[in-house]
Amino acid sequence: MVSGVLDIESETALAAPAAALAAVLRPGDTIALSGDLGAGKTTLARAMLRALGWAGDVPSPTYTLVQPYDLEAFPVWHVDLYRLEDPHEAEALGLFETEAALLIEWPERLGARLPADALRLHLAGSGDAPRHLTWTAPKAWEGRWPPLPPR
Ligand SMILES: Nc1ncnc2c1ncn2[C@@H]1O[C@H](COP(=O)(O)OP(=O)(O)OP(=O)(O)O)[C@@H](O)[C@H]1O
Ligand SMILES: [Mg+2]
């Protein structure tokens, strides 16, 4: 497990970490995006999908729960579990069977069903304030996240 922190001064500054994540994302991966209401989880997911080549809309999946994206390389599902009442409901959504990469907002709703090899990202801050991105990277993400510092 590796943990760390990154300051994100503005929404624009999300583009760099989003692109770094997009560059290493693989089918079957889970990225757990936690943080309070308005912390920027959807904004980060949107920036990742842009970096992955998606040119269309990226609506918040608050009501649909799962918004699939058929990207050229592999499918990505943007998931928002805010309205999930029980971890078992996630099975009906197909989250544990898909080969798509999962970007999951409100991953805490999954409780112990959150895959152990998920990359856990947490955004702190709200409103116009700068955000702090912290993470816990399991072994499955070794060499992928955190990105190597430029030299
Ligand atoms: N540094 C920043 N990073 C991300 N978002 C920022 C930043 N600064 C300001 N914002 C703004 O904060 C808001 C974040 O909204 P967003 O929908 O992404 O939050 P969320 O975490 O997905 O909320 P929810 O829990 O309701 O799904 C946006 O309006 C965005 O423009
Ligand atoms: Mg959101």
- Residue 147 resides in a domain: no
* Domain interval for residue 21: 2-141
Distance 39 CA to ligand 2 centre (A): 8
- Of all ligands present, the nearest one to the C-alpha of 60 is 2
Rounded Cα distance between 98 and 93, Å, is 10
Number of domains present in the structure of the chain: 1
What pLDDT is attached to residue 6?
93
Rounded Cα distance between 140 and 94, Å, is 22
| Residues forming a β-bridge with 120 | 32, 136
Q: At what angle do helices 41-51 and 15-24 cross, to 10 degrees?
A: 60
Count CA within 13 A, CB hemisphere, residue 46.
Answer: 13
- Residue 98 resides in a domain: yes
- Residue 72 resides in a domain: yes
For ligand 2, an ion, list residues with CB under 5 A: 41-42, 60, 105
- Residue 99 resides in a domain: yes
What pLDDT is attached to residue 4?
83
- Residue 149 resides in a domain: no
Sheet strands side by side (includes 119-124): 2-8, 131-137, 119-124, 30-34, 101-105, 75-80, 66-70
- Residue 150 resides in a domain: no
What CATH number does the domain containing 24 carry? 3.40.50.300
What pLDDT is attached to residue 150?
62
Model pTM score: 0.96
Distance 122 CA to ligand 1 centre (A): 12
Among 111, 107, 112, residue whose Cα is nearest residue 123: 107
- Residue 146 resides in a domain: no
The per-residue pLDDT string of the chain (151 residues; one tens digit each, 9 = 90 and over) reads 788 899 999 999 999 999 999 999 999 999 999 999 999 999 999 999 999 999 999 999 999 999 999 999 999 999 999 999 999 999 999 999 999 999 999 999 999 999 999 999 999 999 999 999 999 999 999 999 998 766 6
- Residue 75 resides in a domain: yes
